[in-house]
Amino acid sequence: MNLNRIKLWSVGGGKGGIGKSLVTLGLGVALARLGKKVILIDGDLGGANLHTLMGVRYPHVTLEHFLTKKVSRLEDTIIETGVEGINLICGADDLMGAANPTFAQKIRLLQQIEDLPAQYVLFDQGAGTSYNTLDFFNFSSGKIALFTSQTTSLQNAYGFIKSALYRKLSRDFAKDDEILQCLYQGGNGGNGNNFESIHDLLEHFKTVNPEKHARLSQALWDFHLFLVVNMVKSNTDLKAPEIIRSVCQDFLNIQPDLMGHVLFDPGVEAAINHMVPFPLHQKKSKAMVGLEQIALTLVRQSRLPRRGIHGAWEAQEDEDLPMETIAAHPSRS
């Protein structure tokens, strides 16, 4: 059975300190507990610390070895961890050359990620909105935007999503000056148009150039995104994804899906200080309850077909999926 599974999932969010590495780790452990083979990649090429959270003090091989061609295969940079089912590829640590990979280096890395011996690869993105981070995020079939309910995180998360989408569109339409001008200058190129949102842009091309409208709509559709809110302390915090969703819908014309939430767990800090993966430090971790739910959703979303832009089911593997799974998919409702 040849299943078109989403293998690579990226966890990004723009702001530092919102728990991207911890959520990646916890999600990896949750998937491993479901019997999956998982590889975690620390995509922070300037300040890697996922290995520290995993309890690995001295990684003997990192992404830097691959990017600088000291090892030829990405697979050779995999490090075994103490958690069954989880392997790790460590990030580079402020070394010249690794923090700013060339486009060719990025392509080489991304191509080899697909060949890694795992069912799921979780890519922990670094903070910020550098082109590296945005490119790695956009390349991933599974995209998770992580944020907390803090005002700074909300603003950065939206900025991150917007930057990633604009980066994707500018790559997809690199040779189309008209669309690029409309995107980045709001259409003020002497034609009298003024676009405040991508919705305005779509409406413009709908009448002026239906072919471009179709291509743009498809590109937006391909940018499928999941939201996860971290460090939830109150019911009000649970409303944070709605803020992001509504702004994304109104101004970016994308409809991110809520994947779940992770409760604030004071035990996580103690685990970090003990250099023990936090899900192993406590028997019952409050944070892991949410992450186990998210892992389930991730497994389901990795396999489910998406309704196509014109309403038809996209994946040709529909027939291979149990009917109850498809029927239970939220997009059916």
Partner 1 sequence: MTLDQFKPQAETPESFALSLEIADPGAQTPRLTPVVIRNLSTGGVTLTVTNPRDIPDWDRYRGEACVLRVEDPGGGASFNIRATIAWTRFGGPGQPPLSLGLQLIKPSGEVMRRLSNLLPQTSQDIKKLWERYDQVRETPEKPDWVHRCYIAGLGLLLAGLMLQFAGSPGYKGWGWILWLLGSLGIAAKIMRPFRQKQPARDQIGRTL
Contacts with partner 1, residue ranges (CB under 8 A): 30, 34-35, 151, 154-155, 158, 162, 196-197, 234-236, 239-240, 242-243, 246-247, 250-252, 263, 284, 286, 289-290, 292-293, 295-296, 299-300, 303, 322, 324-325
| Nearest to 180, CA basis, from 86, 168, 260 | 168
Rounded least distance, CB 330 to partner 1, Å: 13
DSSP letter for 319, please: G
Q: Considering beta carbons, is residue 214 or 247 the nearer one to partner 1?
A: 247
Rounded least distance, CB 33 to partner 1, Å: 8
Rounded least distance, CB 197 to partner 1, Å: 7
| Nearest to 37, CA basis, from 78, 91, 90, 92 | 78
Q: Considering beta carbons, is residue 68 or 264 the nearer one to partner 1?
A: 264
Q: Considering beta carbons, is residue 30 or 201 the nearer one to partner 1?
A: 30
Q: Give CA–CA dist 146/12, Å, rounded.
A: 6
Q: Considering beta carbons, is residue 90 or 161 the nearer one to partner 1?
A: 161
* Distance linking the first and last C-alpha atoms of the chain: 28
Which 3-state string (H, E, C) describes 220-238? HHHCCCEEEEEEECCCHHH
Q: Give CA–CA dist 183/169, Å, rounded.
A: 9
What 3-state class would DSSP assign to 12?
strand
Residue 18 CA to its chain's centroid (Å): 14
Q: For 16, phi and psi rounded to 5 degrees?
A: -85, 155
Rounded least distance, CB 34 to partner 1, Å: 5
Q: Considering beta carbons, is residue 122 or 304 the nearer one to partner 1?
A: 304
Rounded least distance, CB 66 to partner 1, Å: 31
